[in-house]
Amino acid sequence: MHKAEMQGLEAIRQAGVRTPGIIDHFSTESISLLLLEFVASTKPELRSWQQLGKDLARLHQTSAKEFGFEEDNFIGSVPQSCRRQSDWVHFLWKERFQPLVRRCHEAHCLNMRQIALFETLQERLKTLFPSSPTPCLVHGDLWNGNVLFSHQGPILIDPAAHWSIPEMDLAMIQLFGGFHAAFFDAYFAHLPKEPGFEQRLQCLQIYYLLVHLLLFGSSYWPGIADRLDRLI
């Protein structure tokens, strides 16, 4: 997990967005350690939120040829498959939804009736995402607890970074809230919404809710069921 986090932080830093500096990383048979720069947090000002919007737009304008990442990584403590794929819908199903639905079933978080709903969602994906977009770099787990504000500006931590689409981060941001309106104004000034934006966010939020279903239990199923009902 530490190696994966280090790789994600480095990818985001290379895209021109600030992360804590990596000081050292080592492991033995019994311990693993990732030592990062200390960040003194401050209360965010309006300009800090605006800068975060600009920074995220910059990250999302960093492109690649394929979806995925150099190696598999983690979202929280949940393994995240990152095999390279050239088609977005194929990547979304094979590397995101399908492995997580399988894990939830094995953990007795989903029954066969519920799994059947995801098979229907699979058929709907090509309608929700009619063309395969250009892969971009995303943080991958961007809720408000993974942003630090300092005197130097916003800093991103704890990534699940990979090459995806911008709406992957926006889905997580809007799922749990806590981001100032100035952030959205600054972001969309650089990367405006495209038709079908809201429906696509509903779809991508299901992935994050499945992660929470696996980690924290059945209280997250109603949110998944509601979105599946709207989409299929």
Phi-psi region of 127 (alpha: psi -120 to 50; beta: other; left: phi over 0): alpha
| Burial class, 71, CB count within 10 angstroms (exposed 0-12 / middle 13-18 / buried 19+) | exposed
Q: Contact 147/176 with Cβ under 8 angstroms?
A: no
The gap from C-alpha 185 to its chain's centroid, in whole angstroms, comes to 20
Q: Contact 32/23 with Cβ under 8 angstroms?
A: no
| Burial class, 106, CB count within 10 angstroms (exposed 0-12 / middle 13-18 / buried 19+) | exposed
Q: Contact 12/161 with Cβ under 8 angstroms?
A: yes
Q: What is the rounded distance in angstroms from the CA atom of residue 45 to the CA atom of residue 183?
A: 11
Q: What is the rounded distance in angstroms from the CA atom of residue 140 to the CA atom of residue 144?
A: 12
Catalytic residue among 141, 158, 169, 229: 141
Any catalytic annotation for residue 169?
Answer: no
Q: What is the rounded distance in angstroms from the CA atom of residue 89 to the CA atom of residue 75?
A: 20
> Catalytic residue numbers?
141
